[in-house]
Amino acid sequence: MRKTDLVFWTFLTMTGLAGATTVFNVTQTYSASSPNSELYRQLDLFGDVFERVRSDYVEKPDDTMLIESAINGMLAALDPHSSYMSPKNYRDMQVQTRGEFGGLGIEVTMENGVVKVVAPIDDTPASKAGIQANDLITHLDSEQISGLTLEQAVEKMRGPVNTPITLTVVRKGKDEPFDVKIVRDFIRINAVKARAEGDIAYVKVTTFNEQTHANLVKAMDSLKKEIGPKLKGIIIDLRNNPGGLLDQAIAVSDDFLERGAIVLTKGRNNEETQRAQARPGDTADGKPIVVLINGGSASASEIVAGALKDHKRATIIGTRSFGKGSVQTIIPLGANGAIRLTTARYYTPSNRSIQAKGIDPDIIIEQELPDELKGKAPEKPRGEASLRGHLRGEDEKPAAAEPATKEAEPSEASGESKEEQKEESGSSAYVPKEPEKDTQLQYALKFLRGEATGETVAKPAVPPSGNPSADKPVPN
């Protein structure tokens, strides 16, 4: 009897333990799967709506269009810079960032329904064929341009290298339109335009594509030889530069810095913080530098301006920049295009967030609008902070950054710490075509020659510890 009782109670105890373990595991499984259950329920909802649209919409919709629009809507809901790129848009983006493509070599715009040549690019098929500025192109391979958008016309003019195209051209002084046959060739977009302004080297960087760093080094070497020992300083014009490739912004900054941090990128997790570091070598040979910025200077432009400002390597002149301080990663989707996804924020070497704040100039110089534009410009210039759904700025400093100053420097205009100021970015983006009417450029020239006085309304940022002071034409 005693043995029977022992077996019975042992069996009962084991059964109880097994039951408790089962209940615990089921509870844990349910708890872990609950979020996924809700996710799948939402996906079922999407499937139901998709099928209802396909079956009941007044006209038969395009399934691909519906899916692409749904994906783009999901990404657009995150922030203004995340988006879906169709295969065609992805290819166009790659052409833009490479800075080279098969084409004719002309900058064009649209005027009265026809393509107008802004300027032929030197040593290209269009230039060699005699195409001139202000020529009007009415037909492409005998097909009328009227009715096409500028993008559609440019796409038709671009194409595989060594393939011909015939342009029908209307030129002032010619009684009749005439045809010009051109064979496409590799066209490289020069992202850097440079010239000597007397004893000052003027370098305008229009975008940050794969050619920018190499073009800048080439332009600087040429200007130093042209101006010679009388060179007093360099102006780097980043106004209306919308940005581009991060590695090119880092390389351009490195061209003028001997050492120290250039930019920090902080992602979702602290361990994803990365820092780009400058290497020895200054292409300006220590000469004074002015960087021009305005409300059209964004992203990569702000990285360059912020790095040179924080190291006191340059004086920033103009108006507050756009304030796009976020990193977009291009994630290919095979034959289905790609997505552009915001994955990190930018910080200057002094741990200052660019996002929705921008770069404040050391010297504020407003560019006066001409009479014909007064009243037409928006009262409040648009910047990142004014974009609907923009990524919020972040005051937290990246852990891997170089130490910032103990106290944030106050703004003389507001008396507030820069880190405490509310989100505000952007300013006027108008730049006159004539250099003599360009107030910001003319002030920069006087500043480098020691002729400018007054106008200083903000101090340069304190350099990081341990570091030295220091409608656009479309090419085709």
Alpha helices in 158-265 (DSSP H): 212-227, 246-254
How far does CA 100 lie from the centroid of its chain? Answer: 18
Task: Encode 341-365 in three state secondary structure.
Answer: EEEEEEECCCCCECCCCCCCCCEEC
Tokens of residue 145, six digits: 């341009």
CA angle at residue 49 from 52 to 42, to 5 degrees? 155
Query: How far is CA 177 from each of CA 145, 146, 164, rounded to the nearest angstrom?
Result: 14, 15, 19
Edge-to-edge strand list for the sheet holding 363-364: 192-197, 200-205, 233-237, 289-293, 315-318, 363-364
Which residue in the list 253, 299, 350, 428 is annotated as catalytic?
299
Residue type, 63: D
Which residue in the list 135, 254, 255, 310 is annotated as catalytic?
310
Which residue in the list 324, 353, 357, 427 is annotated as catalytic?
324
Tokens of residue 340, six digits: 């552009």
Question: Is residue 123 helix, strand or coil?
Answer: coil
**Phi/psi of residue 248, each to 5°?**
-75, -35
Contact 248, 209 (CB under 8 A): yes
Pairing of strands 338-347, 100-103: unpaired
Per-residue pLDDT of the chain (476 residues; tens, 9 = 90+): 455 565 555 555 555 555 555 545 545 544 445 667 888 888 889 999 999 999 999 999 999 899 988 998 899 899 989 999 988 888 888 887 887 788 898 878 888 888 888 878 778 899 899 998 889 999 999 999 888 888 788 888 988 889 999 999 999 888 899 999 999 998 877 889 999 999 999 999 999 999 999 999 999 999 999 999 999 999 999 999 989 999 999 999 999 999 999 999 998 887 778 999 999 999 999 999 999 999 989 999 999 999 999 999 999 999 999 999 999 999 999 988 999 999 999 899 999 989 988 999 999 999 888 777 676 555 556 688 777 788 876 654 443 444 333 333 333 333 334 444 466 666 888 899 899 999 999 999 999 999 976 544 444 434 444 333 334 455 56
Q: How far apart are the first and last CA of the chain?
A: 100
Alpha-carbon distance of 363 to 343, in angstroms, equals: 32
Structure confidence at residue 394 (pLDDT): 61
Tokens of residue 266, six digits: 């902080």
Alpha-carbon distance of 247 to 414, in angstroms, equals: 35
Torsion angle in degrees (nearest 10) through CA of 99, 104, 107, 109: -120
Contact 327, 298 (CB under 8 A): no
How many CB atoms neighbour CB 84 within 10 A?
Answer: 23
Clarify whether 48 is annotated catalytic: no
Bridge partners, residue 142, by sequence: none
Containing 75, the helix (H) or strand (E) segment is helix 63-76
Structure confidence at residue 188 (pLDDT): 79
Clarify whether 310 is annotated catalytic: yes
DSSP 335: G
Alpha-carbon distance of 150 to 19, in angstroms, equals: 72
Pairing of strands 315-318, 185-188: unpaired
Q: What is the CA radius of gyration of the chain?
A: 29
